[in-house]
Amino acid sequence: MKRLLVTGGAGFIGSNFVHYWLEKYPNDHVVVLDALTYAGNASNLTALDDVQNFEFVHGDINDTSRVEALLREQELDTIVHFAAESHVDRSIEGPDAFITANILGTHSLLKAARQVWLSEGKCPLDHRFHHVSTDEVFGSLETGDPGFSEQTAYAPNSPYSASKASSDFLVRAYHHTYGLNVTTSNCSNNYGPYHFPEKLIPLVMINILHGKNLPIYGNGMNIRDWLYVEDHAYGIDLVINSGKVGETYNIGGCNEWTNIDIVNLICKLMDEKFASNDLLKKRFPTSPASAGKDSASLIEYVKDRAGHDFRYAIDTSYIEAELGYQPKVTFEQGIVKTLDWYLENEDWWQAVMDGSYQAWIETNYKAA
């Protein structure tokens, strides 16, 4: 039985991970520590309100003494670290929050883990600090380049990816210098339920429903490797339970799409949903699909993102060979599950889109 501290567990991937973990390991104890920034949403975890061995703590990973107290008092032996500022566009507009959350925040957690598990000897052997990172630390690929492997040199290009790269190095250093039991996973783009609607896939789904333009940065030919979020949780599970201490593992979907192709696919799927469901036409009267028009008519090419990485792709051969990892959800299944989730959970996305986020989106998605 493990006793986990999950940082950022109210965010997109963190909350999916917590649901995955408690379903698979119902006797484990899970404490979520989350500052509930604009991207965190406590309602992602309300289904666990009555679960005895689950606790939500509203707090900041930079509060080192609070983290120490949680590790000590709740006898936690595993940290799964998701908490971060995660949106590249925001990192371009304002990098400071990324330095504070991603670099200083990770260091605060490492210090707390070292203090309680090693210096105080609370859990000297059987502890684990698992750090959740991104493929964006490797920089950008050209067409035809092999995917990022664990040996690819770091070359981060955005303030977001630079802050994540920096946190990866701190995690590595705490293993080599102090003997902290760490693992790191670098994953490709995730999609699925609870994805904050500033990221491409949920933004496009919701904008179609509202009849708003679908902003495509640059020429739409940039490529991402998409993975269903539950498969990321599965990969982290394998790394925590069977991965080698001190090792890093790349996790990916082997599922590369240009942005324009993925937006066109979502438009087509949405048009099919509306064509077979009159209730959707009543619920979303301003969507072009309600008038029998193509959702793709909303596509609008806008100014490119500064320093926009062209292509990400993961070489998954190491995690496949070492841990037997294979994604379980195909893209065809995952994208339909995700679309259905957004159609069934309008209350969730309407609520998260209230407030200052909306003002930010209006000023940042200007047509080219």
Q: Does 7 bind ligand NAD (CB under 6 A)?
A: yes
67 binds ligand NAD (CB under 6 A): no
Burial class (CB in 10 A: 0-12, 13-18, 19+), 96: exposed
In the complex, least distance from residue 357 CB atom to ligand TYD, rounded to whole angstroms: 13
Counting contacts by CB under 6 A, is residue 60 touching ligand NAD?
yes
Q: Helices 64-73 and 105-113, interaxial angle, to 10°?
A: 40
- 187 touches ligand NAD (CB under 6 A): yes
The 3-state DSSP class for residue 314 equals: strand
Q: Which of 6, 18, 45, 61 binds ligand NAD (CB under 6 A)?
A: 61
226 DSSP β-pair partners: 189
Instruction: In whole angstroms, give the CA distance from residue 30 to residue 335.
Output: 29
91 binds, among ligand TYD, ligand NAD, none (CB under 5 to 8 A by kind): none
Binder of residue 88, out of ligand TYD, ligand NAD, none (CB less than 5 to 8 A by kind): ligand TYD
Residues contacting 231, CB < 8 A, separation 6+: 251, 253, 327, 328, 329
- The number of residues making up the chain comes to 368
Q: 136 an active-site residue? A: yes
Catalytic residue among 34, 68, 77, 160: 160
Sequence-distant (≥ 6) Cβ neighbours of residue 219 within 8 angstroms: 260, 301, 304
Among 135, 256, 271, 309, the active-site one is 135
Q: Does 37 bind ligand NAD (CB under 6 A)?
A: yes
Catalytic residue check, 160: yes
Partner from ligand TYD, ligand NAD, none contacting 60, C-beta within 5 to 8 A by type? ligand NAD
Give the span between the Cα atoms of 188 and 26, in whole angstroms.
Answer: 28
What's the farthest any 2 CA atoms get from each other in the chain? 66
Which residue is closest to ligand NAD by CB? 11
The residue from 34, 60, 68, 136 that is catalytic is 136
Name which of 200 and 319 has its Cβ closer to ligand TYD: 200
Say whether 342 is catalytic. Answer: no
Do the Cβ atoms of 259 and 249 come closer than 8 Å?
no
Question: β-strands 256-258, 223-228: how paired?
Answer: antiparallel
Residue 34 contacts which entry, ligand TYD, ligand NAD, none (Cβ below 5-8 A, type-dependent):
ligand NAD
* Interface positions, 120-149, toward ligand NAD (CB under 6 A): 132, 134
- Residues classed as catalytic: 135-136, 160
Give residues in contact with ligand NAD (CB under 6 A).
Answer: 7-8, 10-14, 33-37, 39-40, 60-62, 82-86, 101, 105, 132, 134, 164, 187, 189-190, 196
